[in-house]
Amino acid sequence: MARKWQRVAALGRKRISFPRKVGEVSTSDEHSSSELPEKGHFIVYTTDKRRFSFPIAYLNSSIFRELLRMSEEEFGLPSDGPITLPCDSQFMGYVTSLMQKKAARDVEKALILSMASCRSSSSYNIHQQETSSIPLRGC
């Protein structure tokens, strides 16, 4: 039995993966969601179904922590699927460039504040649309 598990483990290690640049984007059609990331990387998807791969060290960033918190609030915790961030690929490209340039803490804080204000204003607009579409009846 132990040898069987050793063979299975050895097969898992022999997978061939082609390295990608950090933050490289690819559509979900090109890669299945079951494709494993490179060692030391994690995968996220944006709302427009684009795939991003980042080093695990980026999880120490306040920007990523905030994006993950927002994702949990909006989509919940995925139990059997990819993590989807509540932003599009264009915004994620901007975040990627900031991370690669090692942006200053002030820039990170400003981005987080703008994400929070955009999110609260968009939820306010959605609430306004919902309440304005409710027909009122007179007695």
pLDDT for position 18: 40
Structural domain spans, the chain: 19-119
pLDDT digits (tens, 9 = 90+) for 57-97: 988 888 888 888 888 888 888 777 888 888 888 888 888 88
pLDDT for position 97: 85
Domain 19-119 has CATH 3.30.710: yes
> What angle is formed at CA 47 by the lines to CA 131 and CA 114, rounded to 5 degrees?
70
Q: Would you place residue 101 in the very low, low, confident or very high pLDDT band (cuts 50, 70, 90)?
A: confident
Q: Would you place residue 15 in the very low, low, confident or very high pLDDT band (cuts 50, 70, 90)?
A: very low
pLDDT digits (tens, 9 = 90+) for 30-54: 444 557 778 899 999 998 999 999 9
127 pLDDT exceeds 60?
Answer: no
